[in-house]
Amino acid sequence: MTRGQKIEEKFFKALMILATYFILAILAIIIYSIFEKGLRSISWEMLTQVPQGGYYYGKGGGILNAILGSLALAAGATLLAFIIGLPVALYINVFLIRHKKVINVIRFLLDLVWGIPSIVYGAFGFSLMIFFGLQTSLLAGILTVTLFVLPIMIRSMDEILRTVPIGLQEAAYSLGSNKSEIAFKVFTRQSISGIITAVLLSFGRAIGDAAAVLFTAGYTDHMPNGLLEPVATLPLSIFFQLSSPVPEVQNRAYASALVLTLIILIVSLFSRGLGKRYHKTKINF
Amino acid sequence: MYLLNRKQRHVVNYTWMIISLLLVAFLPFLLFIGLYFKSVLLLHDYSLFDLIFSKSWKPASGQFGFYPFIVGSVWVTLVSMLISAPICLLTAIYVTQYTRKNFLRIMHPAIDILAGIPSVVYGLWGILVIVPFISRYLGPWLDVKTMGYSILAASFVLSIMIIPFILNILIEIFKAIPMELKEAALSLGATQWQTIKHVLLKKALPGIIAAFGFGLARAFGETMAVLMVVGNVVKLPKSLFDPGYTLPALIANNYGEMLSIPKYDSALMFAALLLLAVSLFFNLVMHFFIVRYNKF
């Protein structure tokens, strides 16, 4: 090895280490600045009250409406996406198992849909809403976000379901099960940990997305009441508070961002924990 | 115990599956058709060429030139790719080739957290850290006047946001390269870096291009974070330190006024249609790269 080669080797290795630690450092900086700013301005009042009069000029109140609204919206969308998504993922892996080409086309379509930016869903949801004469409401928000998380839900379930060994399927057939029994009783049970992970992943995406709900869910200072009423969401409350010129209101945006980040961190922790826990019910081959 | 007998339950489950599947399979077409019908009003009066290459954006007097927004989007996307592509590639090689398995166990949660942070929070972080950094340090240091809210700020925030996305694909690609290939190169006397340069990178090239393409499509459509730091000025940006405007930001910023002018509404839907078309196109092309890669 010549000296030049040695230097090249060292140089690129150093660059690689630099890049890797750059990513870790950026993550640390992001988490630190969110926590540092957020912890300073968060208060019990913020978590337990709705905005009072003059809230956006620095008067009292909190973001309880946005927290509950976001939770309701994300839960609704995740539930709906689960109801539509699980059968699709099962259908691909149980009914179409012998038609590799069809499976590939469906997976390809799902990947295409996954890549579509959420603002496009927002615009589409908005025009659907106008078409059906709906107002901005929790329902419209849920429907739009459902479309947005659906591909995420299906593809992550699909990744787990495709690892179910063919032997398990054959064993179930030999005991006289039909296809839908195999799908809903055998496959779901075998992949329960992956399904939970997929649901939590979708929930995290649903609660963090702002562009899709911007047009459809509206915004309100009241608590969410009813599917046909507009609803406040955390990402939008952060966005609106941040664009205020009043420093107190901006501080509340930092606190709201901390709340949102914490919710997402907790959800992702849960999905790791639960995934491990249900590993035991799995049949190992 | 059950309301229906086995056969009936099978029929119910089966119908449910088929209906869901059809809904999902037609979703991209539905989106395309829906947005197309909304933008027909605009496409009827203006030629596609005019819309895309005209520079003047005055919705009130009926001038809809998307050029500044398209240029803004392209700038932001390309610069963010320039930042994050080398970082992702170097990191992916490092964590798959140089470190032990345990290191990936630290890296994976880190990537997951980066991927999970909502884009509004990225935007907020950009306002807190990146924008002041550019206006107070980088701008004066390079002797340019800048507010901080600029193409560069948006690109930087965006580049961080797409890192987890690209990195995940790249790690999978490097993991999938068979060990024998590496061993063969090493046994011929190649050093580790030579093996990476001449064997791994060559083998992984289609996959790497695909990963960057997916990242590009993702970056092009990102809305909230970019909207918060890009400055939102309808003007052709002359340098990286100028504020700009992107297509997604255009849609998001004007949703309130949409309904007052029918053509305005139509124009915003056309912007969404453009975004959809770009996203579908990139994903289609990159998909074929991946398919080719798998055939090797």
pLDDT in tens, B241-288: 888 899 999 888 887 666 667 788 888 889 999 999 999 998 888 888
What's the CA gap between A121 and A217, in Å, rounded? 13
Give me the total of CB pairs closer than 8 Å, taking one residue from chain A and one from chain B: 240
Largest CA distance in chain B: 78
pLDDT at residue A280 is higher than 60: no
In chain B, residues with a C-beta closer than 8 Å to the C-beta of A124 are 31, 34-35, 272
Contacts (Cβ under 8 Å, ≥6 apart) of A223: A50, A64, A65, A68
Q: For residue A284, what pLDDT is reported?
A: 60
Closest CA to A10 of B199, B171, B191, B175: B191
pLDDT mean across residues, chain B: 87
Q: For residue B256, what pLDDT is reported?
A: 66
Mean pLDDT of A2-17: 88
What's the CA gap between B224 and B29, in Å, rounded? 25
Flag whether residue A33 sits within 8 Å of chain B, measured between CB atoms. yes
Closest CA to B268 of A37, A130, A209, A38: A130
- Three-state secondary structure call for residue B58: strand
A178/B6 Cβ within 8 A: yes
Contacts (Cβ under 8 Å, ≥6 apart) of A7: none
What's the CA gap between B150 and B152, in Å, rounded? 5
User: What is the residue type of B118?
Assistant: P
Distance from CA of A141 to the nearest CA of B (A): 15
Beta strands in A48-107 (DSSP E): none
What's the CA gap between A158 and A195, in Å, rounded? 9
What are the domain boundaries of chain B? 6-48, 52-295
User: What is the residue type of B188?
Assistant: L
Percentage of chain A surpassing pLDDT 90? 37
A91/B18 Cβ within 8 A: yes
- Three-state secondary structure call for residue B191: coil
A 10 A CB-CB count for B61 gives 6
Q: How confident is the model at residue A128 (pLDDT cuts 50, 70, 90)?
A: confident
Flag whether residue A254 sits within 8 Å of chain B, measured between CB atoms. yes
Quick check: A182 and A94 in contact, CB under 8 A? Answer: yes
Closest CA to B288 of B230, B207, B215, B220: B207
How far out from the chain centre does Cα A18 lie? 31
What's the CA gap between B268 and B41, in Å, rounded? 11
Tokens, residue A254: 């930092």
Q: How confident is the model at residue B294 (pLDDT cuts 50, 70, 90)?
A: low
Q: How many helices (H) and strands (E) does chain B have?
A: 14, 2
Closest CA to A89 of A178, A152, A173: A152
Select from 2.120.10.30, 2.40.70.10, 1.10.3720.10, 3.30.2010.10 the CATH code of A65-281. Answer: 1.10.3720.10
Distance from CA of A30 to the nearest CA of B (A): 7
Bridge partners, B244 (sequence order): B231
The dihedrals phi and psi of B147, each to the nearest 5 degrees, come to -80, -15
Please state, in angstroms and as integers, the Cα–Cα distance from residue B17 to each residue in A21, A88, A108, A143, B7, following that order.
46, 6, 18, 19, 15
- Which chain B residue shows the shortest CA-CA distance from A1? B191
Domain B52-295 CATH class label: mainly alpha
Please state, in angstroms and as integers, the Cα–Cα distance from residue B190 to each residue in B183, B186, B187, B211, following that order.
10, 5, 7, 27
Residue keyed to tokens 């004066």: B140
Q: How confident is the model at residue B163 (pLDDT cuts 50, 70, 90)?
A: very high
In chain A, residues with a C-beta closer than 8 Å to the C-beta of B115 are none
User: Cα torsion for B187, B192, B196, B197, to the nearest 10°?
Assistant: -100
As for the ipTM of the complex, it is: 0.90
Bridge partners, B64 (sequence order): B57
- Three-state secondary structure call for residue B240: coil
Contacts (Cβ under 8 Å, ≥6 apart) of A83: B20
pLDDT at residue A69 is higher than 80: yes
Residue keyed to tokens 């590496």: B182
CA atoms within 13 A on the CB side of A96: 22
What's the CA gap between B159 and A32, in Å, rounded? 19
Mean pLDDT of A150-174: 90
Quick check: A137 and A228 in contact, CB under 8 A? Answer: yes
- Name the residue with higher pLDDT: A178 or B62: A178
Least CB-CB distance to B125: which of A13, A17, A34? A34
In this predicted structure, which of A41-55, B110-124, B207-221 has the lowest mean pLDDT?
Answer: A41-55
Distance from CA of B182 to the nearest CA of A (A): 17
pTM of the model: 0.90
Flag whether residue B209 sits within 8 Å of chain A, measured between CB atoms. no
In this predicted structure, which of B59-63, B165-169, B250-254 has the lowest mean pLDDT?
Answer: B59-63
Flag whether residue A36 sits within 8 Å of chain B, measured between CB atoms. no
Percentage of chain A surpassing pLDDT 70? 95
What's the CA gap between B129 and B136, in Å, rounded? 11
In this predicted structure, which of A56-60, A173-177, A199-203 has the lowest mean pLDDT?
Answer: A56-60
Q: How confident is the model at residue A135 (pLDDT cuts 50, 70, 90)?
A: confident
Closest CA to B165 of B200, B215, B122, B130: B215
Flag whether residue B277 sits within 8 Å of chain A, measured between CB atoms. no
